[in-house]
Structures are given as C-alpha cells and as structure tokens.
Structure 1
Amino acid sequence: MKKRLLTKLLILMFIVGLVLTGCNFNSSEESTDTPEATKEDSAKDAGVEQVLNMSESAEIPTMDSVHAHDGVSFTALNNVKEGLYRLGLEHNAVLAIAKDHQASEDGLVHTFTLRDAKWSNGDPVTAHDFVYAWQRIFKDTGHYASMFETAKILNATEIINGDKQAEELGVKALDDKTLEVTLSGPNPLLPQNLTFPSFLPQNQEFVESQGDQYALEASNMLYNGPFVLSEWKHDQSWQYKKNPDYWDAETVKLEEINTFVVKEASTELNLYETHELDRVDLTAATVDEYQDDETFSFVDDAEIRFLRFNHTLEALGNENIRRAIDMGWDKKAHAEVILNNGSKPLYALVPKGFSTSPDGKGFRDLNGPFNQGTFEEAQAFLDKGLEEIGKETATISIMSSDDESMMKTAEYLKNQLETNLSGLKVEIKVVPFQQRLELEKAIDYGISISSWGPDYNDPMTYLGMWVTDGSANRMGYSNPEYDALIEKINEEQNPTDRYAMMLEAEKILFEDAAIGPAYQVTNAVLQRLYVKDLAYHPSGAEFSFKWAYIKK
C-alpha cells in the first residue's frame, strides 16, 4: 500500500483506451511493457551483477493471497505470483497470465485465454487455479472479498451477505486455458481491478496438500511470477531469485533481490551509507542533511495516514468527542516539523491529486477540507461529548505500530491532545505491525494510527472501506444512509452522477466524524542512480521488480 500518484493524463488515457478498443482488451496490452532503452542498456551492462538490496519496516504478515491485506504482503506476492493482469512499468494494466481478453457487447461476460505458463513445480497454470483461488477467498473469509464487489463479479455481494454460496461466484473454467468471468454490471476498470493480489491464482492440489502450513515458509508455496521466494528468515529478511520458468523470463534482468527487515531509521540509513541498501526512505531528522544529495528525491504518494476510532467504546462512540480529537491537534506542524519529509496535512479522506471528475475538476477542489477549527472549538466539542456520556474526563488509548514515523506521530498526538484539550488523557500502546493489523481486525483498540493506500485508481478505493461490517471497516462504524449511498454508487453507470454521489459519501463520513485524517504521505527517498526502472505503483502492490535492472 505506499504508492505514487498517477497523472491525470494517464488516467484519461486508460479510460479512453478502453473505449477505443471496445470489447477487445488484447490490443497493445499484449506488450511486456519493457522500454527499448531498458533492453539496450541492459545488454550493454550484461557484466554488471544484477542484485538489488531493499528494506521493509516489518515482516511479511502472510504470503497467502486469500488473506493478504497489507502493503508488505502485496509487494511480495506481486513479484512471485501473477494473475490475469499486472501493473506495468507505467502503472497501466497489462496482460499477464492472460494473453487475450474479450468481452461481450453488453460488457458483462469476459473471456480470458491463458498463455502457456507454469507453476514452480512444473504444473501448468490453468483456469481452474483462478476459480479455486477466487472462491477460496469467500470460503476462508479473506480480507478482500470486497474487491470482488468492486470489480462487479457476479454474485459477490450475495455471497458476502450469506445469500449464495462461493461456488456461485461469476467465474468458470470453460477448459484449462479459458476462463469466463461474468459481471453484475459493466465495469471499465476491470483490467485495473484484476491487477490486485486478491485475484491471483492458486494451485488447489498443492494448497490442500500443505494444509495449515500453506504459505508459512518459502518452501510451502508455488510461484508463477517473475521471481521465486528463495529464502525467508522471519523477522529478519527474505530473498527473491529470478524464476527461470516464468513465461516472460527474458524481460527480467535482476537475478536477486534481498529485502531486510529494518525498523530503526538510523540503522536503515547506515546500511545505505555502507552500500548495503540501494533505496531508503528518510525521516524528519535526516531530510535536511540529504536534500542536496544527487540520489535524493521527494516521491508523491496516494497513501494516507489516519486515526481509526473504535466506535464501540463509550467515549469514542460519541461523535462530539471524535470531532474534538480530530480538531484538537496541529496537523500542519506535524507534517512540516515532525515528519519533515514532504508529507501534507490531511483534512479529508480522498487525497489531493488522486482523482478528477468527468469534467476535469479535482476531487479535493470540489469537496474541500472538513472539520477544521480552533482548539477552543475542539474543547467545546469535547465538553459537549463528555456531558453526553456523563463523564468529566476520558482516558483513551492510541495504538501505533513499531516503526519510527508511527511512534513519533503517536507521541506528538498525545502531547497535542493533552495540551490542547482539558479533560482528555492519552495512553500510547506500541505493537508490531502485524499485531496492529490483527487488533484492528478484532476492533481491540481505542484509537489506531492506521494507513491506507489505494487498491485501484478510483475514489471508491477509499470510500468503500466504511460500509457496515466491511472487511476494511475495522472500527464498528455504521450508517445505513452511507451504506445505501455506496450501494447506489456501485450500481450507477453515469460517470457524472456517480462522481456527485462519491462527493456526497465523503461528506456523510465527516458529518459523522467517523475517522480522523492525519496526513497524505510523501516519501523523501534516497535511491542509487544505478537502479533503473524500479516501478513504484500508485495503487495495489508498492513495487514491481520485473523491469528493474542495475546499470553502472
């Protein structure tokens, strides 16, 4: 989930491209998306060791695509597995395991012809592998069953609601090489949706042979992507190696990628300085020092950080107390001084620059900011909320994962709230990243400093999170009016009317003070100049290594 923003032109080109190609999705998407310059440069530097060294702040929570719901897992899965489509070097959806995609005139029935591709044990990748994996997401209550609703796969909603069985999902293997996908309504974003890791295939015989050990170790998985996971030292590191059996192995130049789990920013920077890492994100303390470095750059992102409120608790179930907390801290100073990495204060849900309306106006320009006010106004909301719950004071817990930026945000937030709001006490609870995800899922926290990167390039990737009992809700928020509006948005075919509804949905969310936005991520990055074509995606998986190479 940490993703660079797509340009408006790219989005328009993508949508216009779908219109121009009509029901034939094959066209230029057959390309492996490898620039000619990349091929030439790679050939010139054939003698250079093709090894890339990266870092992550946390362990991989899961390598089972059915249960993955975080950026670390998505990046790993994106590089060792492949679905019908993948995100290309320029972040467009390019054909992957599918070599051809045809759609019926009404846009409801999509037929995919699979290319000759193999799993790492030599088995062919078949249409049955997609049927099995997609149905398994519903049978195993995977985190991203909602993505099948978003993609408008037939009966996804009914299966989630318990009205139909997983076997009734609109996906069918016509034969080993032909997959038929039926939608509940036309969806021009389907290729983009299908790049998401939840739509990856799985080999049924292998998964079932592993039982509850499946995907727990590098050896408990099968791979069909550009790389294989050759080594996985839990909580320490993992290693990718080029997959010689990948159908497009000729395009892949890197022989090895080493990823190290580094939680301390100072340690990460030291590893970069000693040339043991090729890319690092800087923290507030080091940005100024490195701004003149030739390897430094600011990389805009569509990821947001925000406060999840546990609506099931007495104090945080109160709208006025939530509003007071959201209003009671200086977000601008936090972004500019505490983070000091180009990140921007956030006063809404959908980030700036992410989406434009059909007539070319920015989502943020149309909806503006929400819940801005003085600390005195925040105090008034808190006093009213405390009176409503019959308390003079309230103590809340703020949960943070154990990476440096999150912990600094928690400390700053505690100081600000206790300084600016009389009657509020704050406790901080720091947990490992994976534990934070599990506690959020169980709604076992007070406030969680959370993050969200877009799964696809549409405001609904943010707005669709908050439906009652939705898999991404994780805070007990429920508003029937909001649920009904989201359902209408999912059914609306008129782009202008749909956009107006999305604007209204965001307004409802902040009328309820449902969440507390914090900041829109910008990454201050040091990356070796010899690292070429490392794709940093705006949605879905963070990185693709397929086109990357080393040129010295």
Structure 2
Amino acid sequence: MKNNKFFWLLSLMLVLSVFLAACGNDDAATPKGDDDKEPAAEVDEAQVLNLIMSAEIPTMDSALVTDSVGFDLLNNVNEGLYRLNDENVAVPAIAESEPTVSEDGLVYTFTIRDSKWSDGSAVTAGDFEFAWKRAMNPDTASEYGPYMMGGVIKNATAISEGKAEYTELGVKAIDEKTLEVTLEKQVPYFLSLMSFGTFLPQNEAFVTEKGADYATNSDNLISNGPFVLEAWDGTGLSWQLVKNDQYWDAEAVKLTEINYDVVKETATAVNLYTTGEKDRTGLSGEYAMQYAADADLVTELETTLFYFKYNQQRNGEDTPLANVNIREAITKAFNKQDLVDVVLANGSVPANYLVPKAFSFNEAGEDFRDINGEMSEFNVEEAKAAWEKGLSELGVTEVKLEILGGDTEVSKKMDEYFKSQLEGNLEGLEITLKEVPFAIRLDLDTNQDYDIQVAGWGPDFQDPHTFMNLWLTDGGNNKMSYSNPKYDDLINSSVGELAMDPEARWDAMAQAEKLLIEEDFGIGPIYQRGTMSLVKPYVKGVVSHSFGGDYSYKWAYIEGK
C-alpha cells in the first residue's frame, strides 16, 4: 500500500494498460504526497508545477477513458460522489455526506452538495444519472461502463448482454439533489468505486450541445473538479491544468497552474529536471544508478503489475499461443530478476503472481499475496521441456511470434531483453518486435491484433477482484480469447454467493489465481512496478493513490523554491 512518499515514473511508461488503469491498462507511476496537504503558512512562491507525461491523452470522455493518463487527469479536473483522500480512503466529495442504505444493502441514496461546473451551471443528481447511463448506452461504445458497472449496478449486466435498455440502469435522480443507486447484489467495495473515473458526472446539456466533438479538446470540456484542462488540442504533446475557481472547495487548491509536456526519452526528461524546467522525473537503468545517492531521489513499490498477454486467436485463427505448453515455456524462459535489476533498475520486483504484494488485506491484516506466494518462476529447464512438448503437439519445429510493446526508451530496451532471452532459451522461436505509441497499442489490443503484448494493470478499487475479473471469459481486459469455465465460476462466486463471506471469498479468488497463473498460463507475469525518481524539494502535498486515478493535486503547493 502507498505511504506518504512522493515520486514519479511517467517516463517509464511501458504502454500497456488498462493501467488499461486504470486501471487499467497503464503504466504511469503513482506517487504519494508529502506529509502535509496544505502549507503551514501563506507562501509567496508562484504556485506553478511543471510535470512530464510519457504519453499523449487518448480521450477525456469519462465514458471512454481506459488508460492511466486519462484517469489521472480526470481525477484532477472532475470529481465524483467520492474522492480518495491521502490515505486512499474514499470520502464524500460531490456527495454531501455518507449515503443512506436500505436494510437489504441494495439501495444507496446520496445527497448532492452545492457545487458548480466550470461554466457556472449547477452539478445535479441528473448529471450522474446521465453519465452512467451514457456509459452503458451501446452507441457510446464504452469499455469501462459495462466492465465497472456489470454485476454491480442493477441491470448493467442485462444491458451489456442486450437483454435490457440502457435507460433501465439502476440509477435515478429523484430530484436535483437526490441520487438513488440500486445494486444488483451487495458489493463490499461499492463506495470505493464511487471515486473512479467511470462514475464521474457529465453535464447533459453541454455533452448534447458538443455532440461528436465532446471531450476531443480543451475547448469542448467543462469541469467540476479542482482544475480545468486548457491548451490541449486533442493530439498535442503539451497541455495545462488551471485552477477551477468554480470548484466547491477551491479554497483548498493552492496551485494555479500545472504544465505538462510529453517526454518519452529518459535522457531528455533528466535533462529537463536538472536544468530546472521540470519538477520531477522518473529514472531507470543507467540513470537510476547514476542518481542512486542523490538527495532528491525517492523510491517506492507500486501496486501496478505487468505481464505478457498471450493472444490465443488472431484474425479468426488459433495462434501457437493457444497451446498451453507454449504459454508455459514463454512464461518460464526469461530471467525476471535480471530484468528488474539491470534493464529497469528502478526498484521493481519480479512478479510470479497476479495480485500485487501489499495491496489487499483481510480483517486480520493478512496480505492476499501470502496465500499462493510465488508461482511459475523462471526455470529454463522446465521452459525447454514445455516448449518441446508444445512444438510436438503443434507438429512444427519453429514458431514465429510478435511482441507488441510501447515506443518509450525503456519499453524498447525491455522488449529487446525479452527477444534475447526467449530466442536464446527456446530453440526454434523467432521474435519480432512491434513498438508503437500508446493510442495505437490500445487499438491493436481492442481489435485483438497481436501475438504477445507487454501489458500492465493498476487497480481500480482496493480488492483482489480488480485484478481477477480481467480474465473472465467476457472480462474487460481479456482480448486474447482466454476462457476457463472453472475460473469464471470461482470469480463469479466471489462477488455472488460468497460476497459477504470474506474467508471463503478470498479462498475462491486464490484458487482462481493459481488456475490462471500456474495451470493455464493464461498470462505471463513479469514484474510489480517500483519507481525511482527525482523530485524537487519545494514540491509539497502531492497525493498518490494505490488504485483509481494516479494523482491528486488538489492539496499540492510550492514552498521554498
């Protein structure tokens, strides 16, 4: 779990995500803030923060965002019923207080506080009803709407299956100040979902007026959060966040401006930091070693996990990865310790699991990770044996596979390492590398047009289910034709009949994790991300989160520059 250390590693984006963020498929870092959220006294410094982002913004439509960049920015320009505080606890935000809950635990009633959009119009309960139903409207083509609401909000699953209309979603504005949400079943982590980007409100009149242009650039956006997005043309490599004077808690916001530039090369990012043009930068490889003793250095282990996605069917035909022995061989054929020590050199650790260490704990304080421990570890002999068996079953002596990765400097180095390790340890394997910008990789993932993809996931809420539900047959990140009915039954039971039985629920998810990683080799875990970064000492109060949007700048400030 995150502590109050503050760091940065956007320059190490491996161009997954859905982080997808959120999160999905993403690999932007998540720094924690300094100990104090507000300065002890009034400060005279210009309240301007200068940051680096390692990828462009794909979209700012909360119904369509699937990446860490988008969710990070949405977390700062918009606000939902709840917001994560500096301890990663979801607390009322646009909701005036905690909701009232029906006796059966299915109906939540929220009161909307007095708040405004950046154009001066009131934020209403109707804005939430409109946004959530829009995310479930098939015409919107939202990925996260069905993924986040399915099995949670009443009728969401039926809507996604075409058995109900999106207008039947269990959310209703009783009046301008009262929002009623009806659940499909009791959901232990429901309130933490209310801080997530997909559940943000949208102003119906504004969205309708803008039509297809909505959220395509900063001129076609309005905000209800601490900042507004400016100087974004929809495709550019720079933009700004400017304090939103209409925000209901504007008095708490000290920064007047946050300037972003997309920088994909570590050398360039470090140079911008050392010359004072940027206030923090991520480090890796030789730069991590060079600055290991620097007074500005901050390190931390995140709850973001990276892995190989093995696409079993491409263009309607089975790939060699449809063979479980081929998947096992690749999973075990590369040295993860050398990868994190030499290629990344940023505090990351080898991952032989799906649910990260120090992420989810039971009531006794026990880490979920301790149940299964390490699985499918690096083992060349076992990899070669599985490889030979797989080749025999396929009736071939050679296999050609493509690895899809990102276009950042670190991503390219990592892909070269994979190619060297896999070709060196698995005779007859030929690897080609396809390194593309983040938005293109998202399209290729959506279209299932890849063989092996270097992907990553940051949690959307603080529960193992945020990682486990990705690999359901119809899971949001399962664009690789993996399917196991036993896995589906275990995960569905963990949010069904076992939802209110914590011990049995964790056992079901642990069984499913072992099935996915150690028996099916449905994915190949690579590493749990750590970060090493340089941060200017005058930057205070930035808060990071172990799930959902990466950063909160609401309480950040500059002092002692």
Match of 2:331 in 1: 326
SS at 1:99 equivalent: coil
Alignment partner, residue 352 of structure 1: 357
Q: Is the 8 A contact 2:147 2:476 kept in 1?
A: no
1:405 Cα deviation from its structure 2 partner: 2.1
User: Partner letter of residue 307 of structure 1?
Assistant: F
1:102 aligns with 2:109: no
1:525 corresponds in structure 2 to 533
State the SS of the aligned residue for 1:44.
coil
> Counterpart in 2 of 1:111?
109
Aligned equivalent of 1:362: 367
Which residue pairs with 1:200 in the alignment? 200
Q: Quote how far apart the aligned CAs of 1:146 are.
A: 4.2
Does structure 1 residue 54 correspond to structure 2 residue 51?
Answer: yes
Unaligned runs of 5+ in 2: 5-32
Q: Which residue of 2 aligns with 1:295?
A: 296
Alpha-carbon distance in 2 for matches of 1:482, 1:38: 43
1:35-93 per-position Cα deviation (integer Å, ceiling 9, x unaligned): 9954452x331x11000011111001110000101100001111111110111122211
Aligned positions of 1:427-446 closer than 5 A: 427-446=432-451
CA pair 102-544 structure 1, distance change in 2 beyond 3 A? same
1:70 to 58, 67, 71: 67
Paired position in structure 1 for 2:23: none
Q: 1:294 to 1:35 in 2, by over 3 A?
A: closer
Report the residue type matching 2:556 in the other structure: A
The C-alpha deviation readout for 1:255-304, integer Å capped at 9, x for no partner, is 00001100111000000001111111101111122122111011220011
CA distance in 2, matches of 1:405, 1:74: 22
Deviation at 1:373, TM superposition (A): 5.0
Question: Residues 542 and 555 of structure 2 are in contact (CA less than 8 Å); yes or no, is this contact kept in structure 1?
Answer: yes
Give the alignment's Cα RMSD to 1 decimal: 1.7
1:91 is aligned to 88
Structure 1 residues 443-454: aligned runs within 5 Å: 443-454=448-459
Residues 146, 470 of structure 1: 8 Å contact kept: no
Q: Establish whether residue 308 from structure 1 lines up as the match of residue 309 from structure 2.
A: yes
Q: How does 1:129-140 map to 2 (within 5 A)?
A: 129-139=127-137, 140=140
Partner of 1:524, secondary structure, is: strand
Deviations 1:498-539 (A, max 9, x none): 011110110111211000110000000111111111011111
Partner of residue 505, structure 1:
512
Matches of 1:391 and 1:179, distance apart in 2: 60
Contact 2:38/2:541 (<8 A) preserved: no
- Whether 1:461 aligns to 2:466 is yes
Query: In structure 2, which of residues 398, 403, 408 is the aligned counterpart of residue 398 of structure 1?
Result: 403
Q: Secondary structure at the match of 2:431?
A: strand
The range that moved more, 154-163 or 144-153, is 144-153
1:416 matched residue in structure 2: 421
Residues 468 and 477, structure 1, Cα contact 8 Å, conserved in 2? yes
CA–CA separation in structure 1 for the residues paired with 2:79 and 2:151: 18
Alpha-carbon distance in 2 for matches of 1:261, 1:298: 22
Residue 55 of structure 2 aligns to a residue whose secondary structure is coil
Identity of aligned residues (%): 45
Q: Summarize the Cα distance change of 1:329–1:499 in structure 2 as closer, same or farther, 3 Å threshold.
A: same
- Asked if structure 1 preserves the Cα contact closer than 8 Å seen for 2:401 and 2:452, the reply is yes
Per the alignment, in what secondary structure is the counterpart of residue 321 of structure 1?
helix
Q: 2:494 aligns with which of 475, 480, 489?
A: 489
Alpha-carbon distance in 2 for matches of 1:517, 1:447: 12
What's the counterpart of residue 183 of structure 2?
A: 183
Of 76, 79, 84, 1:82 maps to 79
Distance 1:159 1:242 in 2: 38
Structure 1 residue identity aligned to 2:192: Q
Q: Which structure exhibits the higher relative contact order, with contacts defined as CA atoms closer than 8 Å and separated by 6 or more residues?
A: 2
1:324–1:378 contact (8 Å) kept in structure 2: yes
Letter in 2 for 1:505: A
Q: Are 1:58 and 1:235, in contact at CA under 8 Å, matched by a contact in 2?
A: no
| In 2, Cα distance between equivalents of 1:291 and 1:372 | 28
**Secondary structure in 2 aligned to 1:98?**
coil
Structure 1 residue aligned with 2:22 = none
- In the alignment of these two chains, the number of paired residues is 521
- Measured in 2, the distance between the counterparts of 1:417 and 1:183 equals 47
Contact 1:85 1:94 in 2 (8 A): yes
> Partners of 1:35 and 1:524 in 2: how far apart?
16
The answer as to whether partners of 1:207 and 1:214 remain within 8 angstroms in 2 is yes
1: CA distance between counterparts of 2:214 and 2:400? 42
Deviation sequence 1:196-226 (CA, Å, 0-9, x none): 1000011112112111111111011111110
Change over 3 Å in CA distance of 1:6–1:144 after alignment to 2: farther
Q: Structure 2 counterpart of 1:429, which letter?
A: K
Deviations, residues 473-515 of structure 1 (Å, cap 9, x unaligned): 1211111221122111111211111011110110111211000
Partner of 1:170: 170
Q: Which residue is 2:261 aligned to?
A: 260
Q: Is the 8 A contact 1:51 1:257 kept in 2?
A: yes
Distance in 2 (CA, whole Å) between partners of 1:150 and 1:281 is 36
Letter in 2 for 1:283: S
CA distance in 1, matches of 2:82, 2:52: 26
Match of 1:284 in 2: 285
1:387 aligned to which of 388, 392, 407: 392
Contact 1:145 1:160 survives alignment (8 Å): no
TM-fit CA distance, 1:356:
2.4
Task: Using the TM superposition, name which of 258-267 and 398-407 deviates more.
Answer: 398-407
Q: Which runs of 5+ in 1 are unaligned?
A: 8-33
Conserved in 2, the CA contact under 8 Å of 1:151 and 1:189?
Answer: no
Question: 1 CA distance for matches of 2:473 and 2:433?
Answer: 28
Is the helix fraction higher in 1 or 2? 1
1:469 shift after superposition:
2.5
Alignment correspondent of 2:272: 271
Q: Which amino acid aligns with 1:157?
A: T
Runs of 4 or more, structure 1, over 6 Å off, are: none
- 1:546 and 2:551 correspond: no
Alpha-carbon offset, residue 141 of structure 1? 2.9
CA distance in 2, matches of 1:166, 1:522: 40
TM-score (norm 2): 0.90
